[in-house]
Amino acid sequence: MNPEECGRSPLYARVAVSSIHYGIDRPYDYMIPRSMEEYLRPGMRVIVPFGLGNRKSEAMVLQISDKTGFDNVKSILRVLDNEPVLSREMINLLLRLREICFCTFYDILKAALPAGLWFHLEQKLRIVPGAVVEDDGGIYSEQERIILEKLKKPATPQALEEMLPFDPIPAIRSLTEKGIIESETTAVRGVGDKTIRLASLAVSAEEAEEHIRSYGKKAPTHAKILEFLMSAGEASEGEIVYYTGCSASSVRRLAEKGLIELREQEVMRRPDFDREPKQVEHVVLNAEQGSTAEGLISLADSGKPSVALLFGVTGSGKTQVYMSVIEHVLNKGKTALVLVPEIALTPQLMRIFISRFGDKTAILHSMLSTGQRSDEWKRIKRGQARLVLGTRSAIFAPLENIGVIVIDEEQEHTYKSENVPRYHARDVAKYRAYYNDALLILASATPSVESFYSAKTGKYNLFTLKERYNKSALPEVLIADMRKELINANPSTISSLLKSEISKNLERGEQTILFLNRRGNSRRLVCGECGAIPECNQCTNPMTYHSANGRLMCHLCGSSRNVEYRCPACGGEYKFIGAGTQKCEKDLKELFGGIEILRMDSDTTSARRSHEEILGRFRDE
């Protein structure tokens, strides 16, 4: 029943509708049915009829009001969420971002949610309950009869098209007009909740003992289950099967008899980390670090939003400084958010955070499974995790009462999204710090020009760490002239100097880390006659040779093609120049045979947990 029929003023929801063209994208008003008024709130998703055809569409509620400027307002059809998935802070933030990003309202709102919580609407055709489908008098055409036969189970229009040798649309339209079939729209979530089934006694201990005696040899498995639950109290179905040797069907039969009670309990899919807090040596901050930490803590306690640039040389202990600030903020009952530029940095930091702050830490990045990201998001939303570590998208973590936000290596380009919506995590962090009266720390040894300028002109607070921790000296830097290596007939990517230093490390039983800013084998092919370089057919970006698949790969758009050994422009022969990580790995194996070599680039870390596994093998070697 609509509120108007009850003689009182209705409520209206202003919503952002999904899957609409940018040209007509704006918030739309819908009437809230009386049955939804008590629980519908901003930040919840709904299904609404949209357009002249009343296409059922997903929408996000932005605000609720008792006024609207429109006549003949349509009503909301269904509510999809039990509670808001976006807070008032997040809605305001995203609406503000939409003003500077070329995207629809729904696209920007969707960016704040993990993919596992997204819905997609699925339309299925079904026979109307009670409709007469038997055709004795030639009511239906041959095509209609075939469709009714196929619709004994609901099916999507696309599935019908694939099953049938004819176009089913005219017959579907005819059956719909006759009231024989109807369209049903269901919302399917990207990933469901993971649950386990728990069992407990549904009768008193005395009754359970009586049943155990009565079962005796007649049903020994039932007796075992009841005995186990009498001692355990409550256990999962899997535990019962494991410890009693019975089957899951035996557990369900006892539930059908009313002797035990079954219930579903949600379990979280956690990222694969060692979550046991390890005893770590307490790091004592030196005088410079201590005064810097005190200054940052003073800003965090001021109750006003502020931005600080933590500018320190490599090895000066910036991480320990901002960890002291995080510890202070958490002790005050607030939450904290730390962003890092690369997924590869998260495993090591996560171990440090767990060691220092326990299991109240959550992690968010794109290499987690869909279920893990969704469950970590839910832990944060429920307040079970108060410290969040992640990459760029973690800036939208559903934290409340934020005390400090840290952007480590703030100058990195990876904090800027290249996909819709195109935002910079630093800009979003400023807004979140402003809304929560929190401190934003930008940490870097080589800050961006704009951040350093803002710090120097007084817009940001500047904290400088000039000395390395424990006054340790910077490592010696040796430079190898690769031109001389070529003159001395060394075509390898490993210079004589580097080979010598690696050999010394191996003799001492030490490890070596080599950095190269290019993946692939030979970086480029170049024509020996005219100097032309093969370019991508899609985006004209120079292509890189990969020996693993023997193809030229574009690192910009991802397209690839077979290697060409002759220049199409002049017919000259292509030569391999430069080097990537694959070529470097190959040269190392030739020079140091028998030594395990680990290569870590985007080609070897595409699988889930690959970063942790490679770093773990290197750490444990």
Full DSSP string of 206-246: HHHHHHHHHHTTTSHHHHHHHHHHHHHSEEEHHHHHHHH--
Is 547 inside any structural domain? Answer: yes
Is 567 inside any structural domain? Answer: yes
Whether pLDDT at 394 is above 60: yes
Same domain membership, residue 222 and residue 169:
no
Same domain membership, residue 250 and residue 371:
no
Whether pLDDT at 545 is above 90: no
Which of 37-41, 134-138, 182-186, 487-491 is the most confident on average?
37-41
CATH number at residue 82: 3.40.1440.60
Amino acid symbol at 25: D
Same domain membership, residue 311 and residue 257:
no
* pLDDT at residue number 14: 96
| Domain, as residue range, for 21 | 3-118
Same domain membership, residue 95 and residue 45:
yes
* pLDDT at residue number 163: 87
* pLDDT at residue number 525: 78
Which of 148, 170, 189 lies at the terminal end of a domain, its last residue? 189
Q: What is the mean pLDDT of residues 404-427?
A: 93
Is 84 inside any structural domain? Answer: yes
Model confidence at 279, pLDDT cuts 50, 70, 90, reads low
| Residue in the block written with tokens 């006549």 | 71
Same domain membership, residue 408 and residue 321:
yes
Which of 189, 221, 248 lies at the terminal end of a domain, its last residue? 189
* pLDDT at residue number 280: 58
Model confidence at 3, pLDDT cuts 50, 70, 90, reads low
Same domain membership, residue 133 and residue 256:
no
Distance of alpha carbon 59 from alpha carbon 67, whole angstroms: 19
| Residue in the block written with tokens 């009754």 | 207
Q: Looking at the DSSP assignment, which residues form a beta bridge with residue 50?
A: 55
Using an 8 Å Cβ cutoff, are 108 and 94 in contact? Answer: yes
Angle made by CA atoms 168, 173, 176, in degrees to the nearest 5? 120
Same domain membership, residue 41 and residue 126:
no
Is 598 inside any structural domain? Answer: yes
Same domain membership, residue 201 and residue 163:
no
Which of 237, 266, 295 lies at the terminal end of a domain, its last residue? 266
Q: Which two tokens stand for residue 470?
A: 């424990």
* pLDDT at residue number 91: 95
Share of the chain above pLDDT 70, in %: 95
pLDDT digits (tens, 9 = 90+) for 140-179: 888 888 888 888 888 888 888 888 888 888 888 888 888 8
Is 570 inside any structural domain? Answer: yes
* pLDDT at residue number 74: 95
Is 325 inside any structural domain? Answer: yes
Is 275 inside any structural domain? Answer: no
pLDDT digits (tens, 9 = 90+) for 210-258: 888 887 777 888 888 998 998 888 899 889 888 888 888 989 999 998 9
pLDDT digits (tens, 9 = 90+) for 494-528: 899 999 999 999 999 999 999 988 776 556 778 87
Whether pLDDT at 423 is above 70: yes
Share of the chain above pLDDT 90, in %: 42
Whether pLDDT at 4 is above 70: no
**Into how many domains does the chain fold?**
5
Same domain membership, residue 539 and residue 595:
yes
- What is the DSSP code (8-state) at residue 75? B
Whether pLDDT at 472 is above 90: no
* pLDDT at residue number 501: 93
Same domain membership, residue 497 and residue 467:
no
Q: What is the mean pLDDT of residues 70-87?
A: 93
Same domain membership, residue 441 and residue 300:
yes
* pLDDT at residue number 274: 57
Strand 560-562 to strand 45-50: parallel, antiparallel, or no bridges (unpaired)?
Answer: unpaired
Is 277 inside any structural domain? Answer: no
* pLDDT at residue number 278: 57
Whether pLDDT at 469 is above 80: no
Same domain membership, residue 402 and residue 322:
yes
On the CB side of 25, how many CA atoms lie within 13 Å of its CA?
18
